[in-house]
Chain A
Amino acid sequence: MGSLKIENIRKSFGHVDVLKGIDLEVKDGEFVIFVGPSGCGKSTLLRVIAGLEDATSGDILIDGKKVNNTPPAKRGIAMVFQTYALYPHLSVRDNMGLGLKQAGKPADEIKERTGIASSMLSLDEYLERRPAELSGGQRQRVAIGRAIVREPQLFLFDEPLSNLDAALRVNTRLEIARLHRQLKATMIYVTHDQVEAMTLADKIVVLNKGKIEQVGSPMELYNAPQTIFVAGFIGSPQMNLIDAAKLGQSGAKTIGIRPEHIQVSKTSGEWKGSVIHVEHLGADTIIYLQTDFGPLTVRLFGEHNYDVDGVLYATPDAGRTYRFDNDGQVIKG
């Protein structure tokens, strides 16, 4: 129930290739997140899976069945949109029940299933309201409820939290995580926010320019990025990427080191730099240094006080640096 297989999917709009051959397998019950910068094709891929766009070539299999020519409503999927996309003229109850009504389900079954979904999302008291009478967070819960009611094999989320403010975003994120545990359903989720990706996913798919850069668990991506793109994309603040030639190292084009894997000292260390700016976040202190080989970001845990323009020495943690070749691939060992 609920596995997905994508085989060599390509999608072009006119002469623009948006997806350039995507292969992916999603197991039943997995929470998979597509991340990538804008325009990398992640939303298009989701739409192709949903059947809202036809792939130019390639196959999509849901539960082992080829669904290339199956209309969206018959694919056993449900989708939650960034803009909520609630039907403005229907009440919350009818919004959630419309899919079942179209499928010809009896009225008491629709009532029972909307009842279950609305209590799961604590929407009971809003059932008779119209979407215009709800807040943004409530609307998105209704949209999620509409997906749950369909009891799909596959949940598709298209940047569902982007339109919510920061506090609501955290709450809704927790809610989605809870739903995933409760429903044990397969979920595919598109976002450009790496925090969402890291916190929710069983498996993250990093997309760049219509291709998959790397697939792996959040910690695999963090600890063992295979390309320079993944290294730079996952982790905040961004990994320091330094030209190897300027460091006098051979055998690699670029050296990568995460800001949290650097120690500083006022007296001695490997790299000398001057402090450009210091950010105090309470739990962390982020220091921006200017060195001979360019800017360097350092993240220290706890509170630290350093003067701007002061001299600091930075030392990378042993074994925590990454080396990348000319093609941006990581060099093992």
Chain B
Amino acid sequence: MAKPTASPLRTGLVHLALGTYTLIALFPVFLTVINSFKDRASIFRDPLGLPTPSTFSLVGYNTVLGQGDFVLYFQNSFIVTAVSIFFVLLFGAMAAFALSEYRFKGNTMMGLYLALGIMIPIRLGTVAILQGMVAAGLVNTLTALILVYTAQGLPLAVFILTEFMRTVSDDLKNAGRIDGLSEYSIFFRLVLPLVRPAMATVAVFTMIPIWNDLWFPLILAPSDATKTVTLGSQVFIGQFVTNWNAVLAALTLAILPVLVLYLVFSRQLIRGITSGAVK
């Protein structure tokens, strides 16, 4: 796609900028991973050094996995993230379909109202959410987290998916109506497959903040049975002593599932981002 007029200097500068950004973005991850494989002394002595045979140590991983609860924490994180993504995509897509497909009074206002959540952080409502959860008896359940994360993810999902669904041909939906498909079949069987790239984009943008969140697990579900990975890793951070080996090992492990999910979605994601740009 490079235009013949683009000079090598220009291309070089662009690549330099992108490369620098990549380095900056990857550096903390890199640091976490290499230090998780070193013993405690060498983490402090030479934080930037790669693990060598003399400094190599799996003590962090042994601590983390030896604690036993960590498998449960992973499971909790996984359940919360997966179920939240499912609901965000389902409800987000349904709302987007209604907003893009049907003419009704207040359509635009409703769209703006739903998009408002993008600009207002959900954490401002923490106290009210906690009170609500206490009243509903949902404190220390994964349900509480799923509800909050679904609410948190919906605004962006509705916003992005509405735009994408507008691009689905009206003729196609009308052909479905003439063939006797119900509105639900049109939504699930014609429209959803066509906006799959956009769904993947939304899934990735929704997934990462949920997986990494510390705030709501700490407030709504801090019990041992409902801890998520990020909250679980905090066990090793004490007021006076921090078990860095264990923290770094836990964080390294926490990267893996999210990386796998990302790879699953990423092929679709790239199509989603570029198709929006090219049109």
B172 partner residues in chain A, CB cutoff 8 A: 83, 85, 87
Output the nearest chain A residue to B182 by Cβ-Cβ distance: A102
Question: B171, B178, B190, B194 — which one has the most chain A CB atoms within 10 A of its CB?
Answer: B178
A98 lies within 8 A of B171 (CB): no
Q: Is B169 an interface residue (CB 8 A)?
A: yes
Contact check, B180 vs A83: say whether CB atoms are below 8 A apart.
no
Name A75's closest neighbour in chain B (CB-CB). B178
Q: Which residues of A have CB within 8 Å of B171?
A: 81-85, 158
**How distant is the Cα of A50 from the Cα of B171 in the complex, in angstroms?**
12
User: Which applies to chain B's interface (DSSP): helix, strand, loop or mixed?
Assistant: helix
Are the CB atoms of A79 and B178 closer together than 8 Å? Answer: yes
Q: Taking the nearest CB of chain A, how far is it from the CB of B170, in angstroms? A: 9
A88 contacts B by Cβ under 8 Å:
yes
Give the size category of A's interface with B.
20 to 34
Asked if B193 CB lies within 8 Å of chain A CBs, one says yes
The answer to whether B175 has its CB under 8 Å from any CB of chain A is yes
Judge whether B177 and A71 touch: CB under 8 Å: yes
Residues in chain A near residue B180, CB distance under 8 A: 71, 73-74, 99, 102-103
- Over the window 162-181 of chain B, the binary record of Cβ atoms lying under 8 Å from chain A Cβ atoms (1 yes, 0 no) is 00000001011011111111
- Residues of the A chain whose Cβ atoms lie less than 8 Å from the Cβ of B177: 51-52, 71-73
Assembly CA distance A88 to B191 (angstroms) = 11
Is B193 a contact of A99 with CB atoms below 8 Å? no
- Segment 146-174 of B: residues with Cβ below 8 Å from A: 169, 171-172, 174
Closest chain A CB from B103 CB (angstroms): 8
A87 to B188, CA, bound (A): 13
Q: Given that A73-B179, A102-B179 are contacting pairs, would A89 and B174 also be in contact in the complex, using a CB cutoff of 8 Å?
A: no
Which residues of B are found within 8 Å of A86, using beta-carbon distances?
175
CB nearest neighbor in B for A77: B178
Closest chain-B Cβ to A236's Cβ sits at a distance in Å of: 29
Given known A81-B171, A82-B171, contact A87–B190 (CB-CB < 8 A): yes
Q: Is A33 an interface residue (CB 8 A)?
A: no
Residue of A nearest to B176 (CB): A87
Would B169 and A79 count as touching, CB distance under 8 A? Answer: no
CA distance A179 to B111 in the complex (A): 46
Q: A102 to B178, Cβ gap below 8 A? A: no
| In the complex, A312 has a CB within 8 A of chain B | no
Max count, chain B CB within 10 A of own CB: residue among A73, A84, A150: A73
Of all chain B residues, which has the CB nearest A96? B179
Chain B residues with Cβ below 8 Å from A158 are 171
A-B residue pairs in contact (CB < 8 Å), sample of 18: A52-B174, A52-B177, A72-B174, A72-B177, A73-B177, A73-B178, A78-B178, A81-B174, A81-B175, A85-B169, A87-B176, A88-B193, A88-B194, A98-B179, A98-B181, A146-B175, A146-B179, A150-B179
Give 9 new A-B contacts, CB below 8 A, not counting A73-B181, A74-B180: A47-B174, A50-B174, A52-B177, A79-B178, A87-B172, A87-B176, A99-B178, A102-B180, A102-B181
